[in-house]
Amino acid sequence: MLEVRRKIMVAVDGSAVSDKAVYEAVWLAGCQAGKFKNKLFAVFVKADRVRDYDDLFVKGVSAESEISERWQHIVEHAFLVVRKLALEKDIPFETIVVEGEPAASINHLAHKHDIDLLVVGSTGKGAVKRAFLGSVSAELIEHAPCGVYVVRA
Ligand SMILES: Nc1ncnc2c1ncn2[C@@H]1O[C@H](COP(=O)(O)OP(=O)(O)OP(=O)(O)O)[C@@H](O)[C@H]1O
Ligand SMILES: [Mg+2]
């Protein structure tokens, strides 16, 4: 029997695919065989790709306070599903928000928190619809310090 606690990190960008990734991550975190509960970390990286959030970042918004308010709204929205599912399943979880380049930031956090498994969507919020892998998930598969579970769109 596995008597250790696993640390699972899910990367959320507010897309429907990342919600699917959250669903899988919560399921995985709930599959514990030992006496210690697994822990789930949900990460959102505030990147410079404001185009991805066109619906909220309309042109002409420049006041710092308004920008930060809009980010807060996006971040809260992105974490809705993980909060709901993790609470329902009684899984200990932590949400993390950082600013930076998504893949590098997620890699850094996975390393820092000694994550056992990273869960990502195959694609995300990007405007260009790709056949299979987005640039963030591709980069993570190549450089993450742990295994990467890619949830298909
Ligand atoms: N800013 C982010 N913060 C946290 N996780 C992210 C972020 N961006 C992407 N991800 C994770 O990576 C997955 C794949 O998204 P990715 O950005 O690679 O694809 P895309 O948006 O379709 O394409 P691209 O960004 O290359 O135009 C998402 O489902 C999510 O799990
Ligand atoms: Mg993207």
CATH number at residue 40: 3.40.50.620
For 63-119, how does the pLDDT look when each residue is reduced to its tens digit (9 = 90+)? 778 888 889 999 999 999 999 999 999 999 999 999 999 999 999 999 999 999 999
Interatomic CA distance for residues 79 and 59, integer angstroms = 25
**Closest ligand 1 atom, residue 127 Cα:** 27
Interatomic CA distance for residues 12 and 120, integer angstroms = 8
The whole domain housing 121 covers 7-151
Interatomic CA distance for residues 73 and 36, integer angstroms = 34
In a domain, 1, yes or no: no
In a domain, 135, yes or no: yes
In a domain, 2, yes or no: no
Decide if 109 contacts 41 (C-beta within 8 A).
Answer: yes
Residue 36 C-alpha to ligand 1 middle, in angstroms? 31
**Closest ligand 1 atom, residue 137 Cα:** 18
Interatomic CA distance for residues 23 and 61, integer angstroms = 33
- Total tally of structural domains belonging to the chain: 1
Model's pTM, two decimal places?
Answer: 0.94
Provide mean pLDDT across the span 2-17: 89
